[in-house]
Amino acid sequence: MGFTINDSSVGVGHVQNSSGKFIGATQASIAAAYHSAEKSIPADFRASLTNISGNDTYPIVSFTWLYVPEKSADPERSRALANFLEWALSMGEQSAEQHGYTPLPASLAPKVLAKIHSIR
């Protein structure tokens, strides 16, 4: 069983961010961390959101990472993986949000989708 911010059986503490403010984990404070770093995120998405500056940023934030080769010896397998990842960014995002996870920001999702389309 994974931890979600809507799981009422688990207490959530407030953590001091880089601005000195104690912030709880909410979808808004997690999204604020992304938006604070948005302009510095490179094309390969390798960025840390941990303790990013900002008044309303939750300091313990990260992306979920996947290592996916762009080119494969098995094109059918690559297409299946790309189809799954496209689903994860559409229907999967809606499902994740319903379970308390923060979806990818609207400004980042199309960039990730473009990367998914480059999988061969």
pLDDT at position 7: 58
Q: What is the DSSP string of 36-77?
A: HHGGG--TT-----TT-S-TT--SS---------S--S-HHH
The whole-angstrom separation of Cα 35 and Cα 113 is: 19
Asked if residue 83 is part of any domain, the answer here is yes
pLDDT at position 1: 41
| Contact yes or no for 56/29 (Cβ under 8 A) | yes
Domain range spanning residue 38? 15-117
Nearest CA to 89 out of 59, 64, 55 is that of 64
Asked if residue 1 is part of any domain, the answer here is no
Q: Which residues contact 78 (CB under 8 A, 6 or more apart)?
A: 71, 72, 119, 120
Condensed to tens digits (0 to 9), the pLDDT of residues 61-117 reads 988 888 888 888 999 999 999 999 999 988 888 888 788 788 888 888 899 999 998
Looking at the structure of the chain, the number of domains it has is 1
Asked if residue 26 is part of any domain, the answer here is yes
Asked if residue 9 is part of any domain, the answer here is no
Least confident of 1-10, 24-33, 85-94, 107-116: 1-10
Asked if residue 2 is part of any domain, the answer here is no
The whole-angstrom separation of Cα 44 and Cα 66 is: 11
Condensed to tens digits (0 to 9), the pLDDT of residues 36-59 reads 999 889 988 888 999 999 999 999
